[in-house]
Amino acid sequence: MIRAVASLLLAMLALPALAQDSMPPAPYAYNQLDDPRLEAEASALMQTLRCLKCQSQSIADSDAPMAGDMRHQVRSRILAGESPDAIRRWLVARYGDYVSYEPEVSSTTWPLFAIPVLVILIVAGVLLRRLGKRRNDAGEAA
Amino acid sequence: MSARLYLWVPLALFAFFAGLAAFMLTQEKNQFVESTMIGQPLPDFALDPAFTGLPGASKADFIGGQPRLLNIWASWCLPCIAEAPQLEALKAQGAEIIGIAIRDRPNDVARFLARHGNPYSRIGSDAISEVQLAIGSSGVPETFVIDAKGVIRYQHIGDIRPEHVPVLMAELEKAR
Amino acid sequence: MIAEIGLAALWLAAALAVLQMVSGAFALRANEGEVNPLAIYARPAAVVQAFLAVLAFAMLLWAFAITDLSLKLVATNSHSMKPLLYKLTGTWGNHEGSMLLWVGVLALSGGLLAAFEKRLPERTMGATLSVQGFVALGFYAFLLLSSNPFERLPVPAGEGSGLNPLLQDIGLAIHPPTLYAGYVGLSVAFSLAMGALLTREVNPAFARVMRPWVLGAWVLLTLGITAGSYWAYYELGWGGWWFWDPVENASLMPWLAATALMHSVSVLAARDALRTWTIMLGVLAFSMSMLGTFLVRSGVLTSVHAFAVDPERGAFILGLLGLYIGGAFAIFALRAGAVAEGKRFAVASREGALVFNNVMLSAILAIVLLGTLYPLLTEAFDVRVSVGPPYFNPASAIFAVPMLLVMAVGPLLRWKSDTPRRLQFELALIAALVIGVIGLVSVFGEFPLLPLLGLGLAAALAVAAFLPLRGRKLSRVPVATWGMVIAHFGVAVSLFGMACEGAFSQERLAAVAPGGTEQIGDFTVTLESVTPVAGPNWTAIEARLAISDKGGEPVILNPQARSFWSPPQSTSESALLTRWDGQLYAVIGNQAADGRWQIRVWWKPFVTFIWYGGLLIGLGGVLAIAGRVRVDVKRRQASAKGDQRRADLEALGQASPVPAE
């Protein structure tokens, strides 16, 4: 039984093995920076960068080799003294806003910021209308 | 009546969403992440040879002479086998192709080229996808057109099918 | 034969849905107090339909249990060697089966409504059942015309092709059906809201009928989201419990709407205020459920949980969405103006606080909706953007923080009108707790703003949740009030867990040789060995990690990297060490060329509180239902007694007394 299972497994493994590389991950793909402060900076940044090969995951949450290589880029650049913002800009310059989960105000993303402001105004308006008027009524009644 | 106009707001918003969603359902979903480096110069890089048969690749190899193709590929990538004949065709039509092998081993590269042909003039080895990330490529295979000043002019994502060969030749001509 | 019975049951159920719809509509043509003779079929049609739809689902369940490979659905989603439990859960681990579960629950809740709800006026009931039948009909059509779960293969398959291994998990047994039941429960709230709107019977009696359905759906959504979050946390192998992924948001949005609806329906029941608002939320809550279904199944958005994606089905669901939601909003716009506004109240009152938080919840809903759909909008212009946690967290916090503050105070206020001066002590206590905790935590180090705020608010809310009990005799407090107290306390507990996870988590990634040791927090992690193991339909490498807390007796954890062979896919099985004050989360990765193994370990303080909080919120909801039902049963018994007495008096030939109510 076990032998049958093992041969079946080998047959199945042969296929996907071709489509995936066998290289060891980049040095900083799965290893942390020694300085905890720098590692915290890198990790916070990685949480907000999108893995380009995955469906919808940050590079900090993915086993895809390319996500590993991106983690290596982030950690080694942080180690070299670059700021997280500069690294984000570097990637956005290459892949567009898609690579960053943190939208910045730009010609394509301004509604993401304008609409919440509008929502705040509407909320304030609704509350004033609904509650403010009542206070006047109550005041008159009292 | 106008005082009740706001009651129509939910319907209007919903209609907007439904229209958008209906439109998007008819669109083919774009699975590719395009590079935003088109029109930008290549970043500086110098990669070691991917195997012993050909020299490595650096930015300097793209400067001067004719526009060239930069092919991002790997021996472990199945679509790269599919596009090998088209790369041969491009080479036969006079294109110079410089390869960058992603996360690859010399032996695997040599075996792949022996089996599927070698259209490359140089192949650099990018073991940690460094150059791939620097030019905004998000997968293998991808092919870039680089003009003689080292500026990225065009990106082709995915394997090159026979119908893409003339497109790439035209892009090379345009970059001249 | 099984499949044919199931299919026949579905067709019959669809026919009954037509009958229910038409017959229910006739109730609207009756005069006040009369019953249209054609309207009497709606209730029995709903009941029999429930039986048939459940029968169809049971047939599919049976086909999966015996792995009937002549069925296309079974052949593509199951495998004879799979454990029985996962064969059964595989029934709804695919598009067709989950839609059948959806209509099964839809018909069942329609049947329950028809069989047991006698308080509503017949006209409203007829309109409600008619809408319910209309909704059900659309989903029957969807199943029968484009997603037939009982389709036979021309030649039975030799073997099934398996099930996504990520879904072969007990989490799948709980999470989706709970969520669906919640979604579908909201369909009853939707039908009731439409029924009441059509007959203009928006009043406290209607609210009391709607409330248990909203509460029930809300409890199921709460538990479904909690289970889903925990499932993603331990199954995806990176320790994340919420990523604002489109599919996660798709389940959160109905919950937000249902939470608002549940509170506003209570105001309507108790005070006869917020009539239009309640109807609006009833429509909105079900819209969000259907929108979620559309987003998850049409594939218009990219998600890590993307499920059974197919644009054609997407078009069908979008059509249904347009029909129901577009129709509902249109009727709302036409009719809502005719519904009187209801009773008034002062700003400093229980209603005032509830309105405030209702508006805040709606604003959060608007933000989540915007962030989720925005990438869709830009893609129409061929621009791709990503919206993730760095956007959602602060943008929703703008509204969540004031909401949580008002939530602490609201239950202490009196209905109709109150003076803040009466609550001086409580207000001071809440303010002191927020400021005190934030100040205290800041002394120990620098933490991000949101978790810090979360800690302060959680502390204040945890105490404030119990303040409504102050000065009351605990044995006399109504069960429903206990429900509110526990649910609000659950929010505090959950918030505390989220804040702690955000502020104090520790991560250790390392390449370790067997025998090697790593340190994380107070724990020493030793990799003792790595061995291959085999399960029924997978093989794995399993690490043996000895975890020792401050040098104490070691505990063994066994994280695995599994390879399934049908379909071929690998997963990380994380291993968890649960302590009262947090969880240690361990994952084994690949082996490096030098023979060392990649391990990932996290210490997440109080992370479990996130889900304990979710369970408490659900428990609070259950208590609220129990309390309401008890009061309701008592009232019914009392009125039955009253009727009895009246009948007796009449029998004695006396004039009947004026009804007390």
**From the CB of residue B166, how many other CB atoms can be counted at a distance below 10 Å?**
12
Percent of chain B with pLDDT over 70: 98
For residue C562, the model assigns a pLDDT of: 86
Q: Are residues C190 and C117 in the same domain?
A: no
C136, C164, C192 — which closes off a domain?
A: C164
Which CATH number goes with the domain that contains B166?
3.40.30.10
Q: Any chain A CB within 8 A of the CB of B102? A: yes
Asked if the structure places residue B8 within a domain, the reply is: no
Ramachandran class of C616: left when φ > 0, alpha when ψ lies in -120 to 50, beta otherwise: alpha
Q: Any chain C CB within 8 A of the CB of A83? A: no
Query: Who wins on pLDDT, C655 or C255?
Result: C255
Q: Are C212 and C629 in contact (CB under 8 A)?
A: yes
Asked if the structure places residue B14 within a domain, the reply is: no
Give which of C525, C585, C568 is closest to C79, Cα–Cα: C568
Asked if the structure places residue C384 within a domain, the reply is: no
Check C387 against A97: CB less than 8 A apart: no
For residue A136, the model assigns a pLDDT of: 45
Interface-testing mutation among B9, B24, B26, with chain C (most C C-beta atoms within 10 A): B24
Give CA angle at C578 (C448, C538), nearest 5°: 110
For residue A5, the model assigns a pLDDT of: 36
For residue B1, the model assigns a pLDDT of: 42
Amino acid letter for position C231: W
Query: Out of B33, B76, B105, whose CB is closest to A18?
Result: B76
Whole-angstrom distance, CA of residue C265 vs CA of residue C215: 10
**Chains touching A by CB (3 or more pairs below 8 Å):** B, C
Q: Minimum mean pLDDT among B37-41, B93-97, C11-15, C302-306: which range?
A: C302-306
Q: Are residues C626 and C499 in the same domain?
A: yes
Interface-testing mutation among C281, C300, C303, with chain B (most B C-beta atoms within 10 A): C300
Tell me: the pLDDT tens digits for C21-48? 888 888 877 766 667 777 778 888 899 9
CB contact set of C118 (below 8 Å; sequence gap of 6+): none
pLDDT of C607 strictly over 80:
yes
Amino acid letter for position B121: S
As for how many domains chain C has, the answer is 4
Helices (H), strands (E): how many in chain A? 6, 0
Give the minimum alpha-carbon distance from C592 to chain B in angstroms, rounded to a whole number.
Answer: 15
Q: Are C407 and C461 in contact (CB under 8 A)?
A: yes
Q: Any chain B CB within 8 A of the CB of A99? A: yes
Distances (CA, A) of C41 to A19, C26, C139, C365: 61, 10, 21, 39
Whole-angstrom distance, CA of residue B41 vs CA of residue C259: 54
Whole-angstrom distance, CA of residue C191 vs CA of residue C196: 8
Q: Are residues C41 and C67 in the same domain?
A: yes
User: pLDDT-derived band of residue A1, with 50, 70 and 90 as boundaries?
Assistant: very low
Percent of chain C with pLDDT over 90: 41
For residue C69, the model assigns a pLDDT of: 85
Q: Is A45 exposed, middle or buried (0-12, 13-18, 19+ CB in 10 A)?
A: buried
pLDDT of B2 strictly over 70:
no
- Whose tokens are 């009125």? That residue is C639
For residue C309, the model assigns a pLDDT of: 63
Q: Minimum mean pLDDT among A8-22, A64-78, C130-144, C471-485: which range?
A: A8-22
Give which of C329, C321, C362, C292 is closest to B18, Cα–Cα: C321
Query: Who wins on pLDDT, A69 or C35?
Result: A69
Q: Are C580 and C497 in contact (CB under 8 A)?
A: no
How high is the ipTM of this complex?
0.87
Rg (CA), chain B: 22
As for how many domains chain B has, the answer is 1
pLDDT of A7 strictly over 50:
no
Check B34 against A96: CB less than 8 A apart: yes
Check A21 against B103: CB less than 8 A apart: yes
Give the minimum alpha-carbon distance from C345 to chain A in angstroms, rounded to a whole number.
Answer: 6
pLDDT of C618 strictly over 90:
yes
Asked if the structure places residue B13 within a domain, the reply is: no
Selected residues 306-325 of chain C with any CB under 8 Å from a CB in chain A = 306
Q: Are residues C234 and C336 in the same domain?
A: yes
Q: Minimum mean pLDDT among A128-132, C10-14, C437-441: which range?
A: A128-132
Tell me: the pLDDT tens digits for A32-62? 888 889 999 999 999 999 988 877 789 988 8
Check C325 against B4: CB less than 8 A apart: no
Asked if the structure places residue C410 within a domain, the reply is: no
C129, C164, C199 — which closes off a domain?
A: C164
For residue C406, the model assigns a pLDDT of: 92
Check A61 against C243: CB less than 8 A apart: yes
Asked if the structure places residue C123 within a domain, the reply is: yes
Q: What percent of the residues of chain A are helix, what percent strand, and what percent coil, each to the nearest 5? A: 65, 5, 30
Chain mean pLDDT for chain B: 89
Whole-angstrom distance, CA of residue C448 vs CA of residue A44: 11
When pLDDT is averaged across residues C277-291 and rounded to a whole number, the result is 92
Give residue B115's domain range: 46-174
Q: Any chain C CB within 8 A of the CB of A110? A: no
Q: Any chain A CB within 8 A of the CB of B36? A: yes
Asked if the structure places residue C375 within a domain, the reply is: no
Give the minimum alpha-carbon distance from B32 to chain A in angstroms, rounded to a whole number.
Answer: 9
Which DSSP category does C186 fall into? H
Q: Are residues C177 and C143 in the same domain?
A: no
Farthest-apart Cα atoms in chain A, separation:
89
Query: Out of B74, B104, B133, whose CB is closest to A94?
Result: B133
For residue C570, the model assigns a pLDDT of: 78
List, as own/partner pairs, every contact residues A119-128 make where C-beta atoms lie below 8 angstroms and the sequence separation is at least 24, other chains included: A119/C363, A119/C366, A119/C367, A120/C363, A120/C398, A123/C359, A123/C360, A123/C363, A123/C399, A126/C359, A127/C355, A127/C356, A127/C359
Chain mean pLDDT for chain C: 87
User: pLDDT-derived band of residue A137, with 50, 70 and 90 as boundaries?
Assistant: very low
Asked if the structure places residue B6 within a domain, the reply is: no
Query: Who wins on pLDDT, C372 or C475?
Result: C372
When pLDDT is averaged across residues B31-55 and rounded to a whole number, the result is 89
User: pLDDT-derived band of residue B121, with 50, 70 and 90 as boundaries?
Assistant: very high
Q: Any chain B CB within 8 A of the CB of A18? A: yes
Q: Minimum mean pLDDT among A52-56, A80-84, C317-321, C476-480: which range?
A: A52-56
Asked if the structure places residue B37 within a domain, the reply is: no
Chain mean pLDDT for chain A: 77
For residue C14, the model assigns a pLDDT of: 93
Q: Any chain A CB within 8 A of the CB of B33? A: yes
Give residue C550's domain range: 506-606
Q: Minimum mean pLDDT among A3-17, B70-84, C298-312, C338-352: which range?
A: A3-17
User: pLDDT-derived band of residue C348, with 50, 70 and 90 as boundaries?
Assistant: confident
Tokens at A80, concatenated? 């070299």
Q: Is B52 exposed, middle or buried (0-12, 13-18, 19+ CB in 10 A)?
A: exposed
Whole-angstrom distance, CA of residue C157 vs CA of residue C456: 59
| Contact list, B33 vs chain A (CB under 8 Å) | 52, 95-96, 98-99
Distances (CA, A) of C220 to C181, C182, C607: 7, 5, 22
| Contact list, C419 vs chain A (CB under 8 Å) | none
Query: Who wins on pLDDT, C607 or C158?
Result: C607
CB contact set of C113 (below 8 Å; sequence gap of 6+): C46, C128, C129, C132, C188, C191, C213
Give the minimum alpha-carbon distance from B46 to chain A in angstroms, rounded to a whole number.
Answer: 17
Asked if the structure places residue C654 within a domain, the reply is: no
Tell me: the pLDDT tens digits for C127-168? 899 999 999 999 999 999 888 888 888 888 877 777 666 667
| Contact list, A123 vs chain C (CB under 8 Å) | 359-360, 363, 399
Q: Are residues C177 and C260 in the same domain?
A: yes
Q: Are residues C60 and C141 in the same domain?
A: yes
pLDDT of C65 strictly over 70:
yes
Give the minimum alpha-carbon distance from A141 to chain B in angstroms, rounded to a whole number.
Answer: 26
Q: Are residues C160 and C29 in the same domain?
A: yes
Q: Minimum mean pLDDT among B146-160, C508-522, C627-641: which range?
A: C627-641
Which DSSP category does A49 fall into? B
Asked if the structure places residue C399 within a domain, the reply is: no
User: pLDDT-derived band of residue C304, with 50, 70 and 90 as boundaries?
Assistant: low
Query: Who wins on pLDDT, A18 or C423?
Result: C423
Asked if the structure places residue C402 within a domain, the reply is: no
Asked if the structure places residue C543 within a domain, the reply is: yes
Q: Any chain A CB within 8 A of the CB of B130? A: yes
Tell me: the pLDDT tens digits for C543-560? 999 999 887 888 999 999
- Written out in words, the top-level CATH class of the domain with range A24-102 is mainly alpha
For residue A81, the model assigns a pLDDT of: 92
Nearest CA in chain C to A61: C238
